[in-house]
Amino acid sequence: MRGVFVLMVIAGAASIVGCTPRTSDGGFDSDDPGSQLYAIRRAGNQGDRDAIPHLIQSLDSDDIAVRLYAINALERITGTRLGYVYYAPQNERTKSIERWSDAYDSGELSPSRAADAKAEAP
């Protein structure tokens, strides 16, 4: 009888796991950090400038890995970190996120300026 119960628990757990979406089906707004990381990494690898607002929002994540991947993707796309440090205290990160938002809103992160920033980088 105990063996049947164990099998039922295993079967139930397997069915729950099988019902979850693949990480690649998620995105920036997913509750699953793995899905967020997938979207962030894809954006950075593809140089997806349309993803910049999502990446900036990801800099404010509670998940340190999401913040790390987001700043790496932003640097890959724009050529700069704008002083953002993913492990810094919240108040310092907030100031850096404001710099990112201001730079984006002002057009400072336009494709031509990003190319110039990459050319100037050591």
Q: State the pLDDT at residue 1.
A: 56
Report the chain's terminal Cα–Cα distance, integer Å.
68
The mean of the pLDDT values for the chain is 81
Question: Taking residues 87-107, what's their average pLDDT?
Answer: 96
pLDDT beyond 80 at 114: no
Burial, 109: exposed, middle or buried (Cβ in 10 Å; 0-12, 13-18, 19+)?
buried
* Residue 59 domain-assigned (yes or no): yes
Task: Give the distance, in angstroms, between the CA of residue 65 and the centroid of all CA atoms in the same chain.
Answer: 8
- Identify the pLDDT of residue 109: 83
Contact 63, 40 (CB under 8 A): no
pLDDT digits (tens, 9 = 90+) for 18-44: 444 455 566 898 888 899 999 999 999
Which amino acid would we find at residue 119? A
In a domain, 12, yes or no: no
Say whether pTM exceeds 0.85.
no
Within-domain flag for 56: yes
In a domain, 87, yes or no: yes
Whole-number Å distance between alpha carbons of 2 and 51: 52
Q: What is the DSSP letter of 104?
A: H
Look at residue 7 and tell me if it is in a domain. Answer: no
| Residue 91, H or E segment | helix 90-106
Give the residue numbers spanning the domain of 51. 18-120
Total number of domains constituting the chain:
1
